[in-house]
Amino acid sequence: MKQAQALANELNALTKAPQFSYVKARAAARGDSNVDWPATKARNGDFNPEVDGCETFVMRDGSVCEWIPSSYRYAAR
């Protein structure tokens, strides 16, 4: 859970910036070595930025950094 919380904190700081997008979130997540990219890709197989907003990232410890569209932020789960 610590890995997801750390990424959520980082990404939530970015959501306050103008022009925030899923592309910027993904770029920031790529810098985090704790993101499990194969699992993230599998989880977001039907991802559509126009509908979903931002991707959910799966961490190596099994936790998830999930996009919450209603509150326009990420949460660790």
Count of helix runs (H) and strand runs (E) in the chain: 4, 3
* Residue showing tokens 């704790």: 34
Sorted by where each begins, the domain ranges of the chain are 2-76
Q: What is the pLDDT of residue 49?
A: 87
Helices (H), 1-77: 2-15, 22-30, 37-43, 49-52
Q: What is the pLDDT of residue 18?
A: 87
pTM of the predicted structure, to 2 decimals = 0.90
Q: Digits of tens for pLDDT over the chain (77 positions)?
A: 999 999 999 999 999 988 899 999 999 999 999 999 999 999 999 998 888 889 999 999 999 999 999 999 999 99
